[in-house]
Amino acid sequence: MTEKDISIVGVVGAGLMGHGLALEFARAGYSVILQDESAAQRDSAPDRIRAAISTLTRFDLVDASAAGRILEHISIIADLDELAGKARFIVEAVVEDLAVKQSVFARLDANCAPGVVLASNTSAFSPTDIGNATENPQRVLVTHYFNPPYLLPGVEIVPGRETAPESVETAVRLCRSIAKEPVVLRRETTGFVINRLQFALFREAVALVEDGIVSPQDLDRLVVTGMGNRLGVYGPFKIADLAGLDVYESICRSVFPVLNNSDGPQDSLSEMVDSGRFGAKTRRGVYEWSDDDVAEVIEGLARHAAMMFRDPSDG
């Protein structure tokens, strides 16, 4: 199956990532079936999609004349089996619980047509472990989009041990057809690439704060005004080449021995979680959050995307 054979894309889960993925496929012209068992998620999805469309329109990331038709391409349903019977490519975006994902994939595999690729948007779970719950693991892989998916073009495509090359090729072509920039990992690894990098940085960030070296707010400010700007344009290896690998080798000798090597979450993070301070979702975390604060973050990402990326309908 190629992307030209895919008339309907299914998205399982209408939450944080799912509604954004539905929007992303719909804005590229695909018919989308968005499924969620939760009536609350189904009822709120249209408003969340409209809010995202409004942001895209405001920053000229989607043409205003096309924006109004995006929701017309999205059907929102409760029945997973109905989605499985109609979709020709399926992306799962349910809760990060391996048993739940395996249950979803087993059911999809039993009810969808041969050749339909089943992709998980998991941030860390092995596609092999997910595929082991199915009778056809050759069509199971990971397509790891980044939040919010309608603003960030990168996608990690992670095949499992049993994934067929044809499934990978279909996923790559489909991603490119919606103006994504897919990177296929050579083999699966816990956390894939971006979360391995992201959480190495986060572990060191927590350690620097716990050690009393810097405040969380000042650390964030340094990242945004310093290394973050470079990483937004180039990757770590190109930056190292520009600085000089001899310089980097010398710094490694000094810095590597003192880097944090905790093999689990640090106490300060666990204490916040135990007290219900989950971040923006509970309005308290490292920062205090209001609805306007959350909207401001999305606005900032949209502003950045408007400078770097273009609307996939531009051709």
pLDDT averaged over the chain?
A: 93
pTM: 0.89
Looking at the chain, the whole-number percentage of residues with pLDDT higher than 90 is 84
Residue 79 clears pLDDT 50, i.e. is over it? yes
Residues 6 or more apart whose CB falls under 8 angstroms from that of 10 comprise: 32, 33, 35, 83, 84, 86, 87, 89, 90, 91
The pLDDT value recorded for residue 223 is 95
The SS3 of residue 280 is helix
The pLDDT value recorded for residue 2 is 57
Other C-beta atoms within 10 Å of 240: how many? Answer: 15
Using DSSP bridges, classify how beta strands 8-12 and 154-159 pair: parallel, antiparallel or unpaired. unpaired
* 102, 126 Cβ separation under 8 angstroms: no
CA angle at 59 for the pair 92 and 157, rounded to the nearest 5°: 30
Q: How far apart are CA 75 and CA 66, in angstroms?
A: 17
The SS3 of residue 120 is strand
Alpha helices in 75-193 (DSSP H): 80-86, 98-111, 127-131, 165-177
pLDDT tens digits for range 164-188: 999 999 999 999 999 999 999 999 9
Report whether the peptide linkage leading into residue 148 is cis, meaning its omega lies within 30 degrees of zero: yes
Q: Band of the pLDDT at 229, cuts 50, 70, 90? A: confident
The pLDDT value recorded for residue 62 is 87
Read off the amino acid at residue 112: C
Q: Which residue has the tokens 């690894």?
A: 189
* 120, 128 Cβ separation under 8 angstroms: no
